[in-house]
Structure 1
Amino acid sequence: MDERVREHAEVLVDWSARVEAGDDVVVSVAEDAHELGVAVAEALGERGANVTALYGSSEVSRAYLKGVEARVEGEADDDDAETGADAAVEADDFDADPEVERAMFEAADAYLRIGGGRNTTATADVGRKTRQAYAKARQGVREARMDTDWVSTVHPTRSLAQQAGMAYEEYRDFVYDAVLRDWESLAEEMAQMKEILDAGEEVRIVTERDGAPDTDVTMSIAGRTAVNSAASVAYDSHNLPSGEVFTAPYDTEGEAFFDVPMTIDATRVRNVHLVFEGGQVVDFAAEAGEDALADILDTDPGARRLGELGIGMNRGIDRFTDSILFDEKMGDTVHLAVGRAYDACLSEGESGNDSAVHVDMITDVSADSRMEVDGEVVQRNGTFRWEEGFEE
């Protein structure tokens, strides 16, 4: 076993999840993440935790959802049936409260999700409306899972390397450069951005393309708390790798262009343009994957409002890989997410934007850009004001 696998497991268990003796830990292991799953189990055993292991297979999920589509299509009356199973499946066709799974997460102290499946688009032939209905039906399970000390990471696999357009050995080095960081030092640096956002009231992001603005968007952050996402639940951070500072904006106005390609709901999406008025998306376009974007925005009313503003600060991530886990943390990027806001950014008792989805979209701010907080430039062309080379 590559020694970096064990180091990854130790960071996940100790720094990220802060697992202690006696904790009940649910570990979901994807098809090709077996090696990291073994290393994590060993680390948990050494620390005196209790382990429940799940098989986190996207291929199993696909089989289940295709089975639901077949059942719903078979039950539909031929005279009243719509054109396909995709349109027929609704949230009511799933158990709205899967008791066993919900109870498992309610009893757990921590949940570790280790991604790394065989096929990054395993559910591509499942209808989008089926996937949306499944997400809505499982909201109670999702909330119980998010109430744990949960952390999501990935084991470098050949399928992820292929998606990133990299050789397998090259991709492994990329992953470990992003994961095996001096997280304490990075947390100290990111605390500067958190302090600025916590004290701020309005953020403005401007980017230019071909000499003209393609993004000019403002959003309120007054009363919100930014999260220093330093890859640990101690920082209200739940991804490994991480390396971003994020908050929950509202009252968004203007236009935003997202030039980093991404896969959304198993569909390749590129060059997204969103127009905000009165805090919500009123118009949108995409060079590719526009139908998938439309389905996301139509999930529920909250899907047309922002749930997150995130600022990438992990310089160990040096290229885009079509994986949101890495791409949104990359230095020189900013991302906005439509959908659900994270409770960690909200005051006690406050209800933020609610939705069954949370979909991030990324823009490259390495050139011809600036980010202002209350009118003061805090980042220009990807360089923060405390970094060498910052230009007023």
Structure 2
Amino acid sequence: MDERIHRHAEVLVDWSARIKAGDDVVLRVDDGAHDLAVAVAEKLGERGANVLPTYPSKEVEAAYIRGHDGDFEADPEFELAMLERADSVLSLRGQCNTAAEAAAPGDKRAAYKKSRQEARAARLATDWVSTLHPTRAHAQQAGMGYEQYKDFVYEAILRDWEELADEMANMKDLLDEGSEVRLVKEDTDLTMSIEGRSAINSAASVAYGSHNLPSGEVFTAPANPEGEVYFDVPMTHDGVRIQGVHLTFEDGEVTDWSAETGEQALEDVLTTDEGARRLGELGIGMNRGIDRFTDSILFDEKMGDTVHLAVGRAYGSCLPEGEEGNQSAVHVDMITDMSENSWMEIDGEVVQRDGTFRWEDGFEE
């Protein structure tokens, strides 16, 4: 087994999830992530945790949704009981077929997700962490050879997370102290309020309020977006490629949308429920170990030259006490490349221009 798999498992268990003796851990293993699951299970055993492995499959899920009449019941009690008992849920992604979800109709997929909000909430209430084991399918999706893709994945994951956390604290401070963010580039001029919000320094650890490995972003929950934004980075959602998305916001809600590719899939997202047409997240990518787009949101949204916005559910950790925030069955991130002819302002001050942050060498006012 590649020695880096063991290092990946150690980072996940110790730095990211902070597993302790006696913790009840649900280990969700994709069909292509078996080797990582073996390494993680060994680490969990060494830490004295209690482990329940589960093997969700996107292909199996799509088959179930496809065969169902579409009138899904609420979450099964046995699944809720498992998640409500868990201290941590570790999701080891790594599919053998990255388009497996496309086998189920979009309207049924949306109905299925709406039916599972209680289980999702129970999972999000744990110290959950999601990571990815490199597979040939993901390498193909990224347009890379398998060995090249493995090097890319481990470069993003096996890094000095404390050092990156210190750097990202600069952006967290700016967002915490700010009131309004403005994004400007071709086909984009969008303002949004961040008044009273708290930004998350997402340094790949639950200790930082972060739940993805790799991570390397600072994010918050914006409100009242106005203007237009163009997302030029391709993405795959539920097995469908979406690219060239243009959204127009008025009074805080998407009023017009288009996509050069996958417009029906985009419409399926935005019509899931009322909250799907409002913003749940503004995220700023800061992981310089991710140096190219790979058509995986787990990596692409963390890239240093990007900003992403998510329509749908907001993270409560970013909101003032007592504020519920945007509610939705979906949370779908879309990315815009800020590396050229672009800038981001906070309260009228440019904090990133052409992908370079104000504290980095080469920044120009």
CA–CA separation in structure 1 for the residues paired with 2:319 and 2:223: 12
**Secondary structure of 1:372 counterpart:** strand
Under a length normalisation based on structure 1, what TM-score does the superposition of the two structures give?
0.92
Under a length normalisation based on structure 2, what TM-score does the superposition of the two structures give?
0.99
Match of 2:75 in 1: 97
Match of 1:353 in 2: 326
Preserved CA contact (<8 Å) 2:63 2:103: no
Which residue, out of 86, 106, 110, partners 1:132? 110
CA–CA separation in structure 2 for the residues paired with 1:56 and 1:41: 16
Which residue, out of 150, 161, 167, partners 2:139? 161
CA–CA separation in structure 1 for the residues paired with 2:233 and 2:148: 21
Per-residue CA distance 1:185-212 (angstroms, 9 max, x = gap): 000000110000000000000013xxxx
Match of 1:30 in 2: 30
Q: CA RMSD in A?
A: 0.7
Q: What percent of counterpart residues are identical?
A: 70
Per-residue CA distance 1:282-318 (angstroms, 9 max, x = gap): 1111111111111111111111110000000000001
CA–CA separation in structure 1 for the residues paired with 2:103 and 2:4: 35
Match of 1:272 in 2: 245
The aligned runs of 1:1-392 (5 Å cut-off) are 1-68=1-68, 72=69, 89=70, 93-208=71-186, 214-392=187-365
CA–CA separation in structure 2 for the residues paired with 1:261 and 1:331: 16
Unaligned runs of at least 5 residues, structure 2:
none
Greater gyration radius: 1
CA–CA separation in structure 1 for the residues paired with 2:50 and 2:107: 37
**Secondary structure of 1:130 counterpart:** helix
CA–CA separation in structure 2 for the residues paired with 1:235 and 1:103: 27
Deviation at 1:230, TM superposition (A): 0.4
Unaligned runs of at least 5 residues, structure 1:
73-88, 209-213
CA–CA separation in structure 2 for the residues paired with 1:281 and 1:292: 16
Preserved CA contact (<8 Å) 2:63 2:104: no
**What one-letter code is carried by the residue in structure 1 that aligns with 2:48?**
G
Deviation at 1:97, TM superposition (A): 2.8
**What one-letter code is carried by the residue in structure 1 that aligns with 2:158?**
L
Per-residue CA distance 1:368-388 (angstroms, 9 max, x = gap): 011000000000111100001
**Secondary structure of 1:352 counterpart:** coil
**Secondary structure of 1:254 counterpart:** strand
**What one-letter code is carried by the residue in structure 2 that aligns with 1:52?**
L
Misfit runs of 4+, over 6 Å: none
